[in-house]
Structure 1
Amino acid sequence: MRAVLCGYYGMGNGGDEALLATLLQMLPSPVTPIVLSGNPAETAQRYGVEAVERKSLPAVWSALRQSQFFIWGGGSLMQDATSAINPLYYGGLMQLAQLMGLKTVAWAQGIGPLRRPSSRWLARLALRGCEGISVRDRASAQLLSDWNLPCLLAPDPVWALASKPVPQLWNLPAPRVAVALRAHPQLSPERQEVIIQALVNFQKATQVCLILLPFQPIKDRGIADAIAARLTGPHAILTPTSPQQLKGVFRGIEMTIGMRFHALVMAAAEGCRCFAISYDPKVEQIVQALDLPAWTLAQPGESTLPALPSDASTLSQAWLQCYANGDPLSADQIQSRLDRALMHQDFLIEAFQ
């Protein structure tokens, strides 16, 4: 059996690469994957799979003609917050696969936000033709329920990704705190300056080593460099290329301050205390699911979370409180989420029968 895997793969985003690594980990053994990738050579070399250019219609057409299955996942593919093109691209591919007679499944999806009527129509049409749908958050499950579409709800599958140790991490002094921020329109230069000053204050108060993790270096490296330039204590910028090692970084971390959704998933799964800065509904979903301390960058009325404070001392004091008194998830809580994340694997096994 051959299956086309469609997602935001090969685009240099650590979270999406972790989803691909987890999907490959969960695929039933008789299934041969063909990955649609922004960097097919790198994807083929890293994972030992066949990969084709995601934007090449002849390559995608050939992959679909060779396959019996089309897996759409995972993550926030069907959303128009970043671009109206996303629903057109992913929804169009799903429709094409369905028209060609492939068995299609939507795997580990976080659906929305869908602000345009055309996006909602296309998402509903594509999902209606799926043999099965699994989602990773309650908001997505509720949206599908409103559309009368059944689905499986389980935690993000990256909870179940096997992590690997990162040898160079242990050469850095302990204790360590990870910071995973990203550039975003709502993270204005003024807000970025407040966060950087708060991190400087936090490090001076705790003497921790700050580990800066640009999950998508092309977007995140600039802010990591800006933070590093201001720090006077021990710090490092780490960019593991293996998703398993990226998750493994958090084995040696005491606390994580994260904007990136999968930074929070990985950190919580490895037993770290977490403090979130939300820029997107998917981050707010994990904040609610794990009851994390958090601030939002959203405009007033767009989020239930408190707004990011405008002074550095308030930020650093909240991080100090989390560092000193916050609790990571217990071993039982982590195991429960890992076990339930494996429901996405059971979903795949059933889909390929």
Structure 2
Amino acid sequence: MKMRAVISGYYGKGNGGDEALLMSLLEMLPSQVEPIVLSGNPRKTYEQYGVQTYHNRSGLAILEALTTSDIFIWGGGSLMQDVTSLASPIYYAGLMALAQQKGLKTVAWAQGIGPLNNPLTRWLTRQVLLGCTAVSVRDYKSAELLSKWHINPLVAPDPVWALTPKSVLGLADLPAPRVAVNLRSHPLLTPQRLKILTQALIDFQKATNTCILLVPFQASQDEKIAHSIAKQLPGSHKIIQLENPRQLKGFFKGVEMTIGMRLHSLIMAASQECKCSALSYDPKVSYLMEEIEIPGWDLAQLPSDPNVISTAWLEYFVNGETLLKDRIQSLTDRALMHQEILTKLILE
């Protein structure tokens, strides 16, 4: 029997990590389920994935989608956190509550819950999660929080570990060795810290003669920084922008090391046997650093001396190790556990 599922997430905003989550979800969705994606750019989402779309801010369209559907899915990521704004968790909780009110099966899928510092957002999150048919989370800290609320979620690695990669034409033509860099705008990445990191990259490139590939994951937040760094680099470099999530993941197969802020830049790189050094701006990045032993710094404790940073990068570039293939396979296999709760929906 064919079923319809409304999928809600941070889609259509040009964020490579969230688009990769959507692509992962669509790969895992049973063939009996027809996806309807709520997007900030419905036309672009339709063109990219070939799925039915509605604008995520059109109340009438959303009501129509919910009225004609069987399932509602939060499609991965850190939707329920109030560090960025209060509006985001209230919006996503409101959609979930509306779907539950209309009698849809509701799924919180591959979520990273928190930080939730406001009592209102904590209460809203708890209420809608208690009403879910199924819940899966991508890290143990989210699971710990939910256990305090007497919710027992499936815990599995981020679904992007299991996303099918696609090779990037022309990457092999760029000078080797290649090092990818992903930085994003954030209050913790102050002008002074960016200056320190840029100088460290300059020193690192001089010492290694590497080709620096600057990889914006979301143009609105990453591109300006990439251009700022690029114009100061003394050696070969290129800004790489890829919209296809499979290509974005496959890109890291041709890279020796990645210096990344964004969670999915590190997941994609590690999954493609690339060395990783992290710059954490968020607990979700710190959790990943701890889980798979990625070296790096919390941005709040970034060394003030560029030489300390460049020396650490150089040491890791020369002597660091990638994740073992068996570990990558294990993470990939476990990430596919998120598919199980989707399959159960059509069986119940």
TM-score over 0.5 for the alignment?
A: yes
- Quick one: distance in 1 between partners of 2:26 and 2:237? 33
- Quick one: distance in 2 between partners of 1:51 and 1:201? 47
- Quick one: distance in 2 between partners of 1:184 and 1:116? 21
Equivalent in the alignment of 1:250: 252
| Structure 1: 5+ residue stretches without partners | 299-306
Equivalent in the alignment of 2:105: 103
Equivalent in the alignment of 1:68: 70
Equivalent in the alignment of 1:136: 138
Residues 259-317 of structure 1 show CA distances to partners (whole Å, capped at 9, x for unaligned) of: 0000000000000110000000100110011111120123xxxxxxxx11011101100
Equivalent in the alignment of 1:315: 309
Equivalent in the alignment of 1:92: 94
CA-CA distance at 1:169 after TM superposition: 1.1
Equivalent in the alignment of 1:301: none
**Aligned counterpart for 1:44 among listed residues 42, 46, 60:** 46
**Aligned counterpart for 1:351 among listed residues 339, 345, 348:** 345
1:215 aligns with 2:217: yes
1:333 aligns with 2:327: yes
- Quick one: distance in 2 between partners of 1:270 and 1:336? 13
Equivalent in the alignment of 2:265: 263
Which 4+ runs in 1 deviate beyond 3 A?
Answer: none
- Quick one: distance in 2 between partners of 1:60 and 1:257? 39
- Quick one: distance in 2 between partners of 1:149 and 1:174? 49
Equivalent in the alignment of 1:291: 293
SS at match of 1:226: helix
- Quick one: distance in 1 between partners of 2:268 and 2:210? 20
- Quick one: distance in 1 between partners of 2:32 and 2:216? 35
- Quick one: distance in 2 between partners of 1:352 and 1:216? 34
1:165 aligns with 2:167: yes
- Quick one: distance in 2 between partners of 1:62 and 1:169? 44
Residues 206-232 of structure 1 show CA distances to partners (whole Å, capped at 9, x for unaligned) of: 001011000001110011001100012
**Structure 1 residues 123-202: aligned runs within 5 Å:** 123-202=125-204
CA-CA distance at 1:347 after TM superposition: 1.8
- Quick one: distance in 1 between partners of 2:109 and 2:194? 35
CA-CA distance at 1:168 after TM superposition: 2.1
- Quick one: distance in 2 between partners of 1:336 and 1:102? 33
What is the aligned-residue identity percentage?
58
Residues 35-71 of structure 1 show CA distances to partners (whole Å, capped at 9, x for unaligned) of: 0000000000100000110011011111111100001
| Structure 2: 5+ residue stretches without partners | none
**Aligned counterpart for 2:16 among listed residues 8, 14, 17:** 14
Residues 232-252 of structure 1 show CA distances to partners (whole Å, capped at 9, x for unaligned) of: 211111111100000011010
- Quick one: distance in 1 between partners of 2:318 and 2:172? 22
- Quick one: distance in 2 between partners of 1:89 and 1:268? 33
CA-CA distance at 1:155 after TM superposition: 0.2
Equivalent in the alignment of 1:304: none
Equivalent in the alignment of 1:302: none
- Quick one: distance in 2 between partners of 1:52 and 1:70? 14
**Aligned counterpart for 1:277 among listed residues 274, 279, 285:** 279
CA-CA distance at 1:321 after TM superposition: 1.0
CA-CA distance at 1:351 after TM superposition: 2.2
SS at match of 1:352: helix
CA RMSD of aligned residues (A): 0.6
Normalization by structure 1: what TM-score?
A: 0.97
Equivalent in the alignment of 1:121: 123
CA-CA distance at 1:182 after TM superposition: 0.4
CA-CA distance at 1:87 after TM superposition: 1.2
Normalization by structure 2: what TM-score?
A: 0.98
Residues 21-44 of structure 1 show CA distances to partners (whole Å, capped at 9, x for unaligned) of: 000000000100000000000000
- Quick one: distance in 1 between partners of 2:152 and 2:343? 18
- Quick one: distance in 2 between partners of 1:64 and 1:350? 20
SS at match of 1:327: coil
